[in-house]
Structure 1
């Protein structure tokens, strides 16, 4: 691909040149996203309505009411990561951010493996988001329980529920793929509308449930509802899967930086805003659900989650109406995750870093979007669902595996960033400068090394926690060893396949991971306004 310097001054819709380094690519993707649409991309990926409804029952079942405290712990850890990402987003506003940032900080080899793991993790995350439809749609109308009929068990842990989840998930993936193909404006409009409905839904749900309390907030200091035996620490760590799954994807705003107006100013703010609003809203949603549930010990909350709380306390009509907001959030979440994954593949392909890169790196002249990569992500996610159609642990296993892979990919950015901070004494490794409005780029300043160190420690600990071979997560049969160890086996296989391709192409000198030299140049000292 022919590349010329794309200077910030040439961004369509941006009226001021900046002092930051040019990123080295032609502007092929269309800039059709404003500040709210950028925020919506990150917020939709996190999607507290989708993921809290999807995993509330699992978190409560594993840890009882005290699992609530996993939420603030994970939120603080991920906020540290988001602060590091915000710094990088201001300096390198490029699609495929995890791959691009890692490559610029640690070299193209580390960057390639980081991007490879991120792609697989994103495809699995799309699949996990799509099957969230099963946690909502059958509760709205029994006709959505197609497998086994209306009288079948809709729980995703049951055979009929798991198979129906795959069916509904594949239908949803067809819809989101079509929207992605239509163009960035259509995708931005869909996610923006979805986010507005989701925010209204969260506010309504929290207010309604807080006005129907069955108990006081002191319930969260007890593990009521936990049916396990022995020490509680292991159960508490397992229940953190819910919070870990929810609070990822805030980097999606960065994935769409090449399609966002004034990305150096907009993207860092929307990354942080998406996570903070999600963190506050999710905490209130979990707490209100625990307070309003009619019982914490009869097994219904663990089996049915928040969907059961709504229909039980609010009745069928109002409960189902609010569940419709959740269904919209599931659609917006799946769409946002698929879009993010498509941009990651496109970013690597345009550098010749993936098989069939000549096709994957193309942007449609009509829609201004990478159509083929959107289809690849959709087909890949559907395949991940279909091969597990008879596995009742698909819900918990996919959730834990995909998020563990995202944590590993994030670590491929924050760890090299920490090394660069230490080696270059602070933030000297990062380009300085100003954004599109002439303001200094977002920076952690003297706190950068401390924040970065804590972020890396958190990510390592959480990755180990997510990949721990727990039978209750990966093997509901409680007797299949390869299922219990499937996460580690799958990640090991992913690395092996990636290494085989990478080395084969390098040996034949057919792979060219080209970052133009000027992506590392220090910028000029001052911004220069465009001439009138």
Structure 2
């Protein structure tokens, strides 16, 4: 179990040690912080979005990826927990990479991560528009999808403009909707609406062909990989959380654990309640969940679920925008972005980075227009988002391991003690495996389609490197970097703890 020192720095004192002054309202509790991470992770959104696709690739045994990826991402969340406990500052991935390695390394990690977040916002809003269209009885046309997608993005922006308290309240409402729509519905389907035997979770249903099932199972990894990120958003808003050094690590681990259980109930419930599971696996129904819900709940029950789902999607887009805006703010506060003075402005009334929020809404709107012009882009941007986020995660995990080899012992109130290096190595090994799975080219025979994810990542990475070495944003940034060991010792001096005490 993580060890806790006898005392730790007060929030604003801790922030001053890290070189910043408080500009935000610390009104977010542990529960609200967990709600933010959980609604970003959103098992309802993840399961619904990929259920049919994953079953056509790997069949019912795909559910085991939820265990595999959940376990791996829990290791990553524990590493992040130690980092954010020492560095409870806005922005998450960017400041963590900067303080653990340096400015240029942090630039690349954050550049990839922010674009992955932006396209994730777009993808979630696009998927959510389908629920809105069903709820209002609107035809599923490209024009309707675009209008509703933009509407979702703007609605989330208005909520975010209202301040941290509104963000926390909507996130908590979204959490309740998620738990009801995922765990509650999943349990109902599992207990009362089973049309298939539990043994189906071991039935490959002929997938894989003569080459064996292993390849099909590996291809279905997206069942878990798409689900288990979002917990890092708990750290993106660190300066708006009371007692963040203790609460955020707990919130991140809780997000993974509750999200995993929720996804299992949901995914498993849909499989066991499916009236025509073989047809879904054969690819005869590209959107089978409405039929499953209507069969199990009736038309009225299915309509109630739509209300729950719409609430969850709104909350998910809201949480994504909030996390992206805080990353942009953190990036800009250190002078690392074009227009950094404008982007780093915080509203004196609502205490939120309104200009960064505008950017986190505007770019997804532009991407939504591009998806409207070419519908095939949605799958590509979704796949790129997952790969980009996992790559950024592992850049932080690698930086933490590098600092450990130099003697770093995390100094926040959350510590893994002697288990820290072991967990760090295991998290890195898992992350590299996940990146390998995500980066594998497809096998359609169309080079553009098969390599579109790698092409997208290459464009983002090369543009980031080009800007870094031509514009040199790092030269004008004097914020601290690579100071993990020095800060840890400073915190220990102020709290009266030692490395021996913490181990």
Q: What TM-score comes out, normalization by structure 1 length?
A: 0.85
Which residue is 1:103 aligned to?
Answer: 98
Displacement after TM superposition at 1:322 (Å): 1.6
CA apart distance, 1:84: 0.5
- Tell me the distance in 2 between the aligned counterparts of 1:335 and 1:432: 32
Matched, 1:372 2:355: yes
Q: How many correspondences in the alignment?
A: 483
CA shift, 1:385, in A, is 2.1
| 1:2-81 correspondence to structure 2 within 5 Å | 8-9=9-10, 11=12, 22-81=17-76
Q: How does 1:110-259 map to 2 (within 5 A)?
A: 110-143=105-138, 145-147=139-141, 164-210=144-190, 211-224=192-205, 226=207, 230-259=211-240
Q: Tell me: CA distance 1:362–1:308, structure 2 relative to 1, closer, same or farther (3 Å).
A: same
Which position in structure 1 is the counterpart of 2:245?
264
1:97-142 alpha-carbon deviations (Å, 9 max, x no partner) = 1111111111111111111111111101111111121443344343
RMSD: 2.3
- 2:326 maps to which residue? 343
Change in CA separation of 1:485 and 1:345 when aligned onto 2, cut-off 3 Å: same
The CA deviation at 1:399 is 2.0
Paired position in structure 2 for 1:496: 462
Q: Which residue of 1 aligns with 2:368?
A: 385
Query: Does the CA contact (< 8 Å) of 2:441 and 2:451 recur in 1?
Result: yes
Q: Do 1:301 and 1:309's aligned partners in 2 also have CA atoms closer than 8 Å? A: no
- Quote how far apart the aligned CAs of 1:391 are: 3.3
CA contact (8 A) 1:121 1:403 kept: yes
Query: Residues 84 and 305 from structure 1, CA distance in 2 versus in 1: closer, same or farther, beyond 3 angstroms?
Result: farther
Answer whether contact 1:431 1:523 (CA < 8 A) is retained: no
CA deviations over 1:154-203 (Å, ceiling 9, x no partner): xxxxxx5xx64444222211111111122111111111111122212223
CA contact (8 A) 2:195 2:272 kept: yes
Is 1:241–1:400's contact at 8 Å kept on the other side of the alignment? no
Of 395, 419, 433 in structure 2, the residue corresponding to residue 447 of structure 1 is 419
State the shift of 1:71 in Å: 1.1
Q: Distance in 2 between matches of 1:258 and 1:228?
A: 53
Which deviates more, 320-329 or 128-137?
A: 128-137
Aligned partner of 1:483 in structure 2 is 449
Q: What is the CA distance between 1:91 and its match in structure 2?
A: 0.8
In structure 2, C-alpha distance between the alignment counterparts of 1:491 and 1:186, rounded to whole Å: 35
Match of 2:316 in 1: 333
Distance 1:484 1:391 in 2: 17
Alpha-carbon distance between aligned partners in 2 of 1:225 and 1:319, rounded to the nearest angstrom: 32
Q: 1:523 pairs with 467, 491, 499, which one?
A: 491
Flag the 1:308–1:365 CA change in 2: closer, same or farther, 3 A.
same
Q: Residues 176 and 331 of structure 1 are in contact (CA less than 8 Å); yes or no, is this contact kept in structure 2?
A: yes
Contact 2:336 2:474 in 1 (8 A): no
**Partner in structure 2 of residue 306 of structure 1:** 289
Matched, 1:511 2:476: yes
Match of 1:290 in 2: 271
CA distance in 2, matches of 1:526, 1:370: 31
The TM-score normalised by the length of structure 2 is 0.90
Tell me which protein shows more helix as a share of its residues.
2
Is the alpha carbon distance of 1:243 and 1:393 closer, same or farther for their aligned partners in structure 2, counting shifts above 3 Å? farther
Segments of structure 2 that go 5 or more residues without pairing to the other structure are 1-7, 497-503
8 Å CA contact 2:10–2:243 kept in 1: the answer is no
How many Å apart are 1:401 and its aligned residue? 0.9
Aligned CA distance change for structure 1 residues 228 and 513 (closer, same or farther; 3 Å)? farther
- CA distance 1:212–1:146, change in 2 (3 Å): closer
Q: Structure 1 CA distance, aligned partners of 2:288 and 2:480?
A: 47
After superposition, what is the alpha-carbon deviation per residue over 1:314-352, rounded to whole angstroms, capped at 9, x for unaligned? 211111212221111111111101110110010010110
- How far apart, CA to CA, are the structure 2 residues paired with 1:57 and 1:509? 45
Partners of 1:329 and 1:228 in 2: CA distance: 38
Q: Does the Cα contact within 8 Å between 1:94 and 1:100 map onto a contact in 2?
A: yes
SS for the counterpart of 1:136 is helix
Gaps of 5+ in 1: 1-6, 12-16, 148-159, 434-440, 472-477
SS at match of 2:195: coil
Greater mean deviation of Cα atoms: 232-241 or 112-121: 232-241
Q: Distance in 2 between matches of 1:480 and 1:423?
A: 46
Q: 1:305 and 1:314, CA in 2 relative to 1: closer, same or farther beyond 3 A? A: same
Shift of 1:239: 1.5
Q: 1:322–1:338: structure 2 CA closer, same or farther, 3 Å change rule? A: same
Q: For residues 176 and 284 of structure 2, what CA distance do their matches in structure 1 show?
A: 28
**What is the distance in 1 between the residues matched to 2:493 and 2:65?**
44
